Amino acid sequence: MKRNQFSVGVVIPAYKVSAHIMSVLRSLGPEVDRICVVDDACPEHSGELVEHEAQDDRITVLFHANNQGVGAAVKTGFRELLSHDVDVIVKLDGDGQMDSSYIKDLIHPIAIGAADYTKGNRFRFMENIHQMPRVRYLGNIGLSLLSKASTGYWNIFDPNNGFVAISTPTLREIDLDRVSQRYFFESDMLFRLSLIRAKVVDVPMRARYGTEKSNLSVFKAAFEFPLKHLRNLLKRILVLYFLRDFSFPGVQLFLGTVLTVSGTSIGLYNFFRSQDLGVNTAPGTLILFAVLFLTGVQFLLGFISHDLQNVPNRTISEDLRLVQDHPTSKDDDR
């Protein structure tokens, strides 16, 4: 049953958060209609703790028999809340790192139709960012740059910030089975959102760190995440610029890649050949290398310029409304 005109559901993945989960739940105000806590086979039995101590009829607790990862827990909560009549779903961690007072800020752009998906950005308040551990700070900067390329959302930052909100119509457009099960979940969600051209908006928020410990291995992420970002980058380019719409930017990318690789190959081959033979490279060969390489770079720069400007600026709800307002000819015939 809705408590508000614009109803809100909150998903809280629970794994080793028994020391913080109850205070997080108590912090959720009346703007929240439903709360789904997903115990991801927590060794501290966080879900059972909530069941025994929480006195809040908004709360539903679900359990995974085996640990599947934070992404899997969030997806379980998403599916549960999709079965109820909510308009937007917020993902909130159970370790107390996320200030629940920002929920209103997260859902506001979605409520007014200005976004399909919102996420926190802790880097907008630089005077407060010193609280973030230095390794995590540097890692976030590097991963943000990789995420911009792999998702095409060049206008956002702090992609691993898990404090997010999504409209239910947008969530229904995403195949959750394909989204990453573990800590790459947030980045992979952005990639999936880019494929459906959803509008994503950053919401500034202050970093908050206390006694909680992250379960994410920084060193594991340093090797695993870049490879996954590269995979998503290639998929995004293939889908958006070749399979879905083979337009001039796709031609620029194709020709730029071929010409740059060809020019570089010719240049390197003749450089090493001239070194072996002890002779100078012929001027015509140098000109050919320069023309191919520079032309290729120009094409690639043109593609990059287009991609930078191709950030989605329409919401899913706008597109759905456009379809409803303009029925197909088949519907008109009926």
- Give tens-digit pLDDT for 271-302: 888 888 878 878 888 898 899 999 999 999 99
- Say how far apart CA 40 and CA 25 lie, in whole Å: 17
Pairing relationship of beta strands 59-63 and 164-167 according to DSSP bridges: unpaired
Last residue of some domain: 227, 261, 278? 227
Determine the Cα–Cα distance for residues 152 and 143; give it in Å rounded to an integer.
14
- Determine if residue 327 is left, alpha or beta; phi over 0 gives left, psi from -120 to 50 gives alpha, anything else beta: beta
Residue numbers of the domain that contains 70? 8-227
- pLDDT tens column, 87-125: 999 999 999 989 999 999 999 999 999 999 999 998 877
Q: What is the CATH number of the domain that holds 87?
A: 3.90.550.10
Query: 235 lies in a domain?
Result: no
Q: How many domains is the chain partitioned into structurally?
A: 2
Looking at the fold, whether 181 and 211 belong to one and the same domain comes out as yes
Looking at the structure, tell me whether residues 286 and 147 fall in a common domain.
no
- pLDDT score of 331: 46
d(CA 35, CA 58): 6
> Both 35 and 178 in a single domain?
yes
Residues 154 and 276 in one domain: no
The answer to whether the beta carbons of residues 257 and 300 sit under 8 Å apart is: yes
* Total-model pTM: 0.86
194 inside domain: yes
Confidence of residue 313 (pLDDT cuts 50, 70, 90): confident
* Alpha-carbon gap, residue 197 to 147, rounded angstroms: 16
Range in 9-13, 124-128, 257-261, 296-300 with the lowest mean pLDDT: 124-128
Q: How confident is the model at residue 217 (pLDDT cuts 50, 70, 90)?
A: low
Q: Is residue 233 part of a domain?
A: no
Residue at 172 is within a domain: yes
Is position 67 within any domain?
A: yes
Last residue of a domain, one of 168, 192, 227: 227
**How many other CB atoms sit within 10 Å of the CB of residue 80?**
17
Q: Is the residue at 207 inside a domain?
A: yes
Percent of the chain exceeding pLDDT 90 equals 66
Rounded Cα gap, residues 169 and 317, in angstroms: 7
Any domain includes 232: no
| pLDDT tens string 54-83 | 999 999 999 999 999 999 999 999 999 999
Query: Are 218 and 132 contained in the same domain?
Result: yes
pLDDT digits (tens, 9 = 90+) for 17-60: 999 999 999 999 999 999 999 999 999 999 999 999 999 999 99
Q: Residue 200: beta bridge partners?
A: 117
Tens of pLDDT along 143-165?
889 999 999 999 998 888 899 99
For residues 57 and 33, what is the distance between their CA atoms, to the nearest angstrom?
10
- Are 214 and 269 part of one and the same domain? no
